[in-house]
Amino acid sequence: MKILNYIILTGLLLCSGQLFAANKPNFIVVLTDDQGYADVGFNGSDDIITPNIDRIATEGTRFTNGYVTYAVCGPSRAGLLTGRYQGRFGFGRNPVIDPTDTQSGLPLSEKMISEVLKPVGYTSSIIGKWHMGTHEQFHPNNRGFDHFYGFLAGGHEYFPEQLVFNSIEEAGGNFGWYKTKLLENNKRVETSSYLTDELSTAAVKFIEREQENPFFLYLAYNAPHTPLQAPKQYLDRNTHIDNKDRRTYAAMITAVDDGVGRILAKLKELDIDDNTVVFFLSDNGGPRKNTSNNAPLRGHKGDYFEGGIHVPFAVRWPGQIPAGVDYRNPVSSLDILATFAGLTDAPIAKERPLDGVNLMPYITGKDDGLPHEVLFWRNFDQGTLATRRGYSKAIHSKKVGDHLYNLDNDLAETSNLLKYNKGQFKQHKQEMQAWQTELIDPVFRPLQGQSAKNKNKNKNKNKKNKNREK
């Protein structure tokens, strides 16, 4: 009788979807924008205090060699969301912000995390910065995301009184889209809070709403991307920093850290903490202009030295992965989708195989091998290729020339070993060039063309205004 009751109960649960949900972990990816490698406590920051972000590393696993696939935002995010090198589908530069452009966005042939998880019962939300295309066909709600709260373009103003435009078209060129009102799905909404706080609140509400269902939350903060803007409440917590810009930058990260704290507290309150995997990383290295700190790494955003692509990176899953452990083998943002797919048995199309790998066997010690024998990077417009195999890192670039480093004893890339190891560099170069044959050229026009176009529009607009005044 007990067995029969169990079978009946199991059947009812399966029909209702509850057992299905119970067997699936929740997934959260917290992605910051332009945050420096050393600008978190878990990587040694002594001026920017990040106790909540640090919990992801200290209560989980820190990746000391965590990489993204590109040194600027758009392509890096495309690699993360698809688990594939973005050069395979032509996302080789930031997309132009043009709602009429059917090319500038992540191709519909590719599947994002949200689209991969949907067939196995997940509800997905993207909160924050999209940057995967502004044409309607690229809208998050058309790409597997059940919920969207944020903005479509690549950057944004932070104070609510600055958000005055109802559409990208109304905002016009010259980065006017930084001042668009936020979207909830397809509807413009009025806001009253500092943008980072607004996004954190939306994330908490989504978790509350979906607590009974398996969910994927992609919380894509735009902080600490410029413009450097922070309210007094966060500036006052960073008065120990003398440099005004650095203080504002730190305050922006303080707001993110508070948001992460709210999310972790909500998971605990709802008793779903142990069933939720949380990744934290930045989309690329910190740029020169926002006072970020990439030490001890060389270079900044846009570079293929370590400072452009080697980012703060950690994962937390209480009771399932080791706590307070450093994982030292190279991993990539490509691995996030592959890990989620591995944990859920989500199907992956054979014609679009992933470049990432499921990290779970590696970080739990079940597999003591390397997740990646080699990692690659390409910037088409710079004419740059880079690769890391083990501790050996090579760069072949029209922009900066040829370089070879041993990252085991020279993480700061100070000693170019090219003249001592020409044979080793040649092997790297051949491998890079062979990999490049698998890629395609960028499928949309560069931002530079857009900038010139916008300048001309603004000039004509100003002329018309002057004529009206006359």
Residues 313 and 280: their CA atoms lie apart, in Å, by: 6
Q: What 3-state class would DSSP assign to 129?
A: strand
* Spatial CA neighbour of 390 closest among 377, 414, 371: 371
Partners of residue 89 on adjacent β-strands: none
Start-end of H helices in 300-446: 306-309, 335-344, 360-363, 422-436
Set 15, 73, 396, 428: catalytic member: 73
Active site residue 131: yes
| Cα-based angle 33, 34, 40 (whole degrees, multiple of 5) | 90
Whether the bond into 227 is cis, omega within 30 of 0: yes
Q: What 3-state class would DSSP assign to 463?
A: helix
Region label for 144, one of left (φ > 0), alpha (ψ between -120 and 50) or beta (otherwise): left
Amino acid at 2: K
Confirm if 432 and 385 have CB atoms less than 8 A apart. Answer: yes
Q: DSSP string covering 130-192, please?
A: --SB-SGGGSGGGTT-SEEEEESSS----SGGG--BSSHHHH-STTGGGGBPEEETTEEE---
Confirm if 224 and 292 have CB atoms less than 8 A apart. Answer: yes
Set 15, 131, 300, 310: catalytic member: 131
Active site residue 15: no
Catalytic residues: 73, 131
